[in-house]
Amino acid sequence: MKVSFLGAGAIGSMFAALLKQHAPDLDVLVVVRGAHGEAISHSGEIEIVGPWGNRPVPIAWSFDPADVAGSDFVFVTVKSQATREALQQAGSALGDAVVVSIQNGINDGQYTGFVPLERLVMGMTATNMAVLEPGQVSMQLDGHTMFGPPIGSTSTVAAQKVVDLMGRIQVPGLDFSVHPNILGVRYNKLVINALGYASCLSGSNFITEALCYTPWREGVGRPIVAECRRVLAAGGVEIPRIQGRSDLTKVENLMRVLGTPILGKLVQMAIRGKFERSPIVFSLLQDLRRGKPTEVDHINGQIVRVAAMAGTEAPVNAEIVKITHELEHRSGERLTTREDVIDRIINITKLTSS
Ligand SMILES: NC(=O)c1ccc[n+]([C@@H]2O[C@H](COP(=O)([O-])OP(=O)(O)OC[C@H]3O[C@@H](n4cnc5c(N)ncnc54)[C@H](OP(=O)(O)O)[C@@H]3O)[C@@H](O)[C@H]2O)c1
């Protein structure tokens, strides 16, 4: 059986290498590019770093998306904005493969014309992976990865096949399951990202310098989440709870507790050390620092689009998109200050409530 990963960066390389390591009978191919791709092409390996230590995994690689030809499964793990281009490059080589998106953003529509609904599976991973250096990827955080049907389908047949495949990866803390409302699950994660992205604009540690900092939490964090909740309710999106730590309700509860006088201080003291040592790093921050286009149009921008479709507005998320684009177009230092973000969102909130 052939399994390909189209656009193997952090997520694609880690899942591909784990799959090859735990199911050596599979033909696993990574379609790569850039410095990371060059490193893999030279060594013929991906080095994976995690609780298992550092492990080089020999892997088949290609620079040509058309080499996915003959695959039973094609995992698409490019950033959302690169989806259509990657699918176009793979073109007819996608053949009859089950195509699986493991991406942030609600980009089901980008697959239209490339994959029929019954062979398209949408995924959400709560894990966190990073390319440490070209050829080397690290599992920063374990967690659940869920799969389900795309918008327009209710069938979980293809998703179950993906879970059966990925279930061959036997790593404690990594698990794979089917969720019938994967769209709601993806929106749950999207709202957490919309919140996290706002902290990246100033390079602030999401937990200790953003959520734990009252002016940010009250001025930026809570308005973003409240707006997302309002817009998604208006758009008829039901958000299920997610097992594990990456769940919107858990984040909202944390913000609520942090706002209470005595308990809030105690919780801050309890979590500060852990998150100072191991900060949660959103890809938007890495992309801004590297001068690469970010996924903001697919995260906060998605809330703006849902608002427009539901006949309402999302000014707070629109402002986060605007600030991000300003920073993307800056040369040199691409971050702003935490106070600047707070001021701009408070101004927007005042304007829209007056
Ligand atoms: N990393 C995480 O922990 C994590 C967690 C949850 C969800 N996600 C989501 O998963 C998706 C992938 O994230 P990631 O962090 O793995 O991104 P990434 O490290 O940037 O990996 C994407 C890779 O695809 C390559 N690529 C883009 N277009 C291509 C093409 N046409 N052909 C071949 N390769 C192509 C990119 O090359 P270039 O760099 O040259 O563009 C990059 O190497 C995103 O939607 C992200 O939001 C990531």
Q: CA–CA separation, 7 vs 30, rounded Å? A: 7
* Ligand 1 atom 23: residue of nearest CA: 9
Q: Quick check: 183 and 122 in contact, CB under 8 A?
A: yes
The atom of ligand 1 lying closest to the CA of 37 is 43
Residue closest by Cα to atom 33 of ligand 1: 7
Ligand 1 near 65 CB (within 6 A):
yes
With a CB cutoff of 8 Å and minimum separation 6, the contacts of 227 are 303, 314, 315, 316, 317
- Find out whether 111 and 120 touch, Cβ atoms under 8 Å: yes
Q: How far is CA 68 from CA 30, 43, 92, 110, in A?
A: 9, 21, 10, 19
Residue nearest to atom 31 of ligand 1 (CA): 86
Does residue 148 come out as left (phi exceeding 0), alpha (psi in the -120 to 50 range) or beta?
beta
Write the CA distances from 190 to 20, 150, 185, 206, 288, integer angstroms.
29, 16, 9, 15, 19
Q: Ligand 1 centre from 7 Cα, in Å?
A: 6
The separation between the first and the last C-alpha atoms of the chain, rounded to the nearest angstrom, is 61
CA of 125 to the centre of ligand 1 (A): 13
pLDDT digits (tens, 9 = 90+) for 68-98: 999 999 999 999 999 999 999 999 999 999 9
Neighbours of 152 (CB within 10 A): 10
How many Cα atoms are found within 13 Å in the side-chain-facing hemisphere of 242?
33
Per DSSP, the three-state class of 56 is strand
pLDDT at position 63: 98
Domains annotated for the chain, with CATH where assigned, are 2-179 (3.40.50.720), 184-353 (1.10.1040.10)
* Sign of the CA dihedral with 186 first, then 52, 41, and 59 last: negative
pLDDT of residue 83: 98
Q: How far is the CA of 11 from the centre of ligand 1 (A)?
A: 7
Ligand 1 pocket, 29 CB below 6 A?
no
Q: What is the pLDDT of residue 175?
A: 96
Average pLDDT for 245-260:
95
pLDDT tens for residues 214-249? 999 999 999 999 999 999 999 999 999 998 888 999
Q: Would you say 191 and 228 are in contact if contact means Cβ atoms under 8 Å apart?
A: yes
pLDDT digits (tens, 9 = 90+) for 5-40: 999 999 999 999 999 999 999 999 999 999 999 999
pLDDT of 354 over the 80 cut: no
Q: How many residues are there in the chain?
A: 354
Between CA 328 and CA 295 the distance in angstroms is 11
Probe target for ligand 1 pocket from 14, 40, 78, with the most ligand atoms within 8 Å of CB:
78
List the structure tokens of 299.
Answer: 């995260």
Ligand 1 neighbour 36 (Cβ under 6 A): yes
pLDDT tens, position by position, 172-224? 999 999 999 999 999 999 999 999 999 999 999 999 999 999 999 999 999 99
3-class DSSP assignment, residue 45: strand
The encoded tokens of residue 123 equal 């995924």
- Angle, helix 222-234 to helix 315-328, in steps of 10 degrees: 120
